[in-house]
C-alpha cells in the first residue's frame, strides 16, 4: 500500500496545474425578501454584488462573506425605485470601482452611478441629456481600453468615460429590441473586443468593432437560442477570463457554458448533485478567485437563492492536493 501511495504522489507531482470541473459547493439566501436577482458582479477581493428587481423595489447589495458557513451578511449599496426595470447594468473595474446602470422604462431616463471600493458613491452620471430617453440603457461592461460600454433595449451601443461620464453613441448593432445584458471578451493586444449579449431569448455576439472604434459592431453569430424571450430583463451573460468561457443564464433550468474562442457549447450547469435544490429561473453568473486554491462560480436563480460552485485551481503536487481536487 505504501508503494502505491508513493507512486501516486510521484504521478500527481507531474500533473502541475489541475484541470477541474465545476462542482456544487453551497447555496445561500439573497437579501431583501422575494425580489428577483437579475445581475451579479465581483471584485478582486471576492466581494459579490447583486442587483435585485421587483415591481416596486430596485436595489443593489454586496456581501464580503458569501462563502461563510454561517450567516451571509449583506450591505445595501443603492436603492432607486424609479428604475422600473431595475439596475440591469452592474460591473466592477480593475480598481474595484463599481458601476450600476438603471433605466426607468420606455419614457424614462437612464442613470449611471459610480461607487468606490468602500461602497461610497463617487458620482452619478445623468445620461438623459445625451441619450434619447426611449433608448433604454440596459447591459453594461468594460472594453479593453477601460471605457464603459452599455447596450440599449433596441441594440444600440453607448460608451462612457469612467472618470467624467462623457458619453458617445458607439453605434447600432442591428440586433433590435430585447437586448438586456452584455459581457466583453477583451482583446488586450489588438483591441478587437467581442461583445456577447442576451437578445430576445438568445445569446448573440457583436463583432467588427474595436475598443477604440466601437461604431462598427454588428450581430454576427447566434450562439444559443434557448431562453424564454418573455422574461426580457432577466437572462444574463458573464465572461470568465480564467478559462475564456461565456456563461449564459437561460431563465430556464440551466446555464450554458460556451467557449469564447469557438462559440462551441461546452456543457450545461445544473444543480444535479443537490437534487433537493434544482436551479430555477437561471439568470446571471459571476466568477472569482477565492484565494484558497479554488475558483468560485455564483449563479443567480432570479428568486432568493444563489447557488455556489467551485473548482480546484491550485497545483497538484501531493496526495493531499489530489484529494482536495477529487472531493
Which structural domain range is residue 272 located in? Answer: 2-326
What is the sign, positive or negative, of the torsion defined by CA atoms of 87, 91, 97, 103? negative
pLDDT of residue 14: 32
- pLDDT value, residue 232: 60
Q: What percentage of the chain carries pLDDT values higher than 70?
A: 76
Q: Is the pTM of the predicted complex or chain greater than 0.85?
A: yes
pLDDT band at 95 (very low <50, low <70, confident <90, very high): very high
Using the 8-state DSSP alphabet, how is residue 13 labeled?
H
Question: Cα–Cα distance between 322 and 201 in angstroms, integer?
Answer: 40
Other CB atoms within 10 Å distance of the CB of residue 204: 23
CATH of the domain at 276: 2.120.10.30
Q: 319-326 and 2-13 are packed helices; what angle lies between their axes, rounded to 10 degrees?
A: 80
Bigger pLDDT: 260 or 131?
260
| Mean pLDDT (whole number) for 196-209 | 89
53-80 mean pLDDT: 90
State how far the Cα of 261 lies from the Cα of 256, in Å rounded to an integer: 15
Is 80 buried (19+), middle (13-18) or exposed (0-12) by CB count in 10 A? middle
The span from the CA of 141 to the CA of 151, in Å, is: 9
> What span, in angstroms and rounded, lies between the C-alpha atoms of 52 and 302?
8
Q: Residue 184: which of 93, 282, 49, 52 has the closest Cα?
A: 93
Average pLDDT score over residue span 54-72 = 89
Higher-pLDDT residue of 211 and 137 is 211
Higher-confidence residue of 150 and 13: namely 150
**pLDDT tens per residue, range 27-52:** 888 887 777 888 999 999 999 999 99
Distance between CA 143 and CA 184 in Å, rounded? 6
| φ/ψ (deg, to 5) at 88 | -85, -15
Least confident of 116-120, 171-175, 185-189, 221-225: 221-225
Cβ distance 75 to 65 under 8 Å?
no
Instruction: Tell me the mean pLDDT in the region 116-135.
Output: 72
180, 139 contact by CB (below 8 A): yes
* Residue 8: partners with Cβ closer than 8 Å, 6 or more residues away: 319, 322
User: How much is the CA Rg of the chain, to the nearest whole Å?
Assistant: 20
Q: How many domains does the chain have?
A: 1
Q: Do the Cβ atoms of 275 and 287 come closer than 8 Å?
A: no
Contact residues for 20 (Cβ-Cβ < 8 A; gap 6+): 311, 312, 313, 325
What is d(CA 325, CA 317) in angstroms, rounded to the nearest whole number? 11
Task: With cut-offs at 50, 70 and 90, classify the pLDDT of residue 12.
Answer: very low
- Asked if pLDDT for residue 251 goes beyond 80, the answer is no
Is the Cα torsion angle 283, 60, 206, 184 positive or negative in sign? negative
Amino acid at each position: 500500500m505504501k508503494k502505491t501511495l508513493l507512486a501516486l504522489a510521484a504521478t500527481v507531482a507531474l500533473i502541475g496545474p489541475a484541470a477541474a470541473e465545476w462542482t456544487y459547493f453551497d447555496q445561500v439566501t439573497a437579501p431583501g425578501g422575494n425580489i428577483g436577482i437579475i445581475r451579479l458582479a465581483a471584485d478582486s477581493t471576492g466581494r459579490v454584488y447583486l442587483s435585485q428587481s421587483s415591481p416596486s423595489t430596485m436595489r443593489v447589495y454586496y456581501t464580503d462573506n458569501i462563502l461563510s458557513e454561517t450567516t451571509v451578511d449583506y450591505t445595501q449599496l443603492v436603492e432607486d425605485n424609479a428604475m422600473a426595470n431595475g439596475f440591469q447594468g452592474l460591473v466592477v473595474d480593475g480598481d474595484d470601482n463599481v458601476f450600476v446602470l438603471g433605466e426607468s422604462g420606455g419614457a424614462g431616463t437612464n442613470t449611471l452611478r459610480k461607487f468606490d471600493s468602500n461602497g461610497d458613491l463617487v458620482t452619478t452620471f445623468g445620461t438623459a441629456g445625451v441619450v434619447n430617453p426611449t433608448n433604454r440603457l440596459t447591459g453594461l461592461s468594460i472594453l479593453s481600453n477601460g471605457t464603459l460600454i452599455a447596450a440599449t433595449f433596441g441594440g444600440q451601443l453607448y460608451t462612457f468615460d469612467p472618470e467624467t461620464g462623457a458619453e458617445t453613441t458607439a453605434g447600432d448593432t442591428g440586433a433590435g429590441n430585447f437586448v438586456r445584458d452584455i459581457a466583453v471578451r477583451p482583446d488586450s493586444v489588438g483591441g478587437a473586443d467581442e461583445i456577447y449579449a442576451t437578445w430576445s431569448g438568445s445569446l448573440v455576439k457583436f463583432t467588427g468593432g474595436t475598443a477604440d472604434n466601437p461604431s462598427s459592431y454588428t450581430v454576427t453569430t447566434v450562439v444559443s437560442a434557448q431562453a424564454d424571450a418573455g422574461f426580457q430583463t432577466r437572462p444574463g451573460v458573464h465572461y470568465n477570463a480564467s478559462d475564456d468561457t461565456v456563461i449564459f443564464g437561460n431563465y430556464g433550468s440551466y446555464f450554458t457554458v460556451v467557449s469564447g474562442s469557438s462559440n462551441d457549447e461546452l456543457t450545461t450547469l445544473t444543480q444535479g448533485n443537490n437534487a433537493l435544490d434544482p436551479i430555477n429561473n437561471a439568470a446571471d453568473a459571476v466568477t472569482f478567485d477565492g484565494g484558497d486554491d479554488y475558483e468560485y462560480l455564483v449563479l443567480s436563480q432570479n428568486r432568493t437563492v444563489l447557488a455556489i460552485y467551485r473548482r480546484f485551481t491550485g497545483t497538484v503536487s501531493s496526495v493531499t492536493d489530489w484529494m482536495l481536487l477529487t472531493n
